[in-house]
């Protein structure tokens, strides 16, 4: 932690980091894995919002194509939900 403090404008005073440093690590050591603290949700979101749209792009200026794809997908999902 001290290694990165000089690079952090907030001196690493971030709520999530504080939570991990002072509460979560101790709880994991004492009780094992903690329910609700999993990266699986974020990995799935990353796959759907980044990996799949990148693969669908033609790899030339992929960011614009990815944004359009994600926007189109979300509009399609919203339209489907509203019609059901």
In a domain, 9, yes or no: yes
Tell me which residue range forms the domain holding 13.
Answer: 2-31
Residue 31 confidence (pLDDT) = 79
Residue 17 forms part of a structural domain: yes
| pLDDT tens figures, 32-57 | 777 666 666 677 888 888 888 899 99
Is residue 39 domain-resident?
A: no
**Distance, CA of 76 to CA of 84 (rounded, Å):** 13
pTM of the model: 0.44
Residue 78 in this model has a pLDDT that exceeds 70: no
How many CA atoms lie within 13 Å of 7's alpha carbon, on the beta-carbon side? 4
**Percentage of the chain modeled with pLDDT above 90:** 5
> Structural domain tally of the chain?
2
């Amino acid at each position: 932690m001290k290694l990165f403090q000089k690079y952090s404008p907030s001196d690493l005073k971030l709520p999530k980091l504080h939570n991990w440093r002072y509460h979560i690590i101790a709880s994991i050591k004492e009780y094992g894995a903690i329910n609700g603290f999993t990266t699986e949700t974020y990995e799935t979101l990353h796959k759907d919002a980044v990996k799949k749209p990148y693969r669908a792009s033609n790899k030339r200026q992929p960011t614009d194509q990815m944004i359009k794809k994600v926007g189109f997908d979300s509009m399609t999902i919203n339209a489907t939900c509203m019609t059901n």
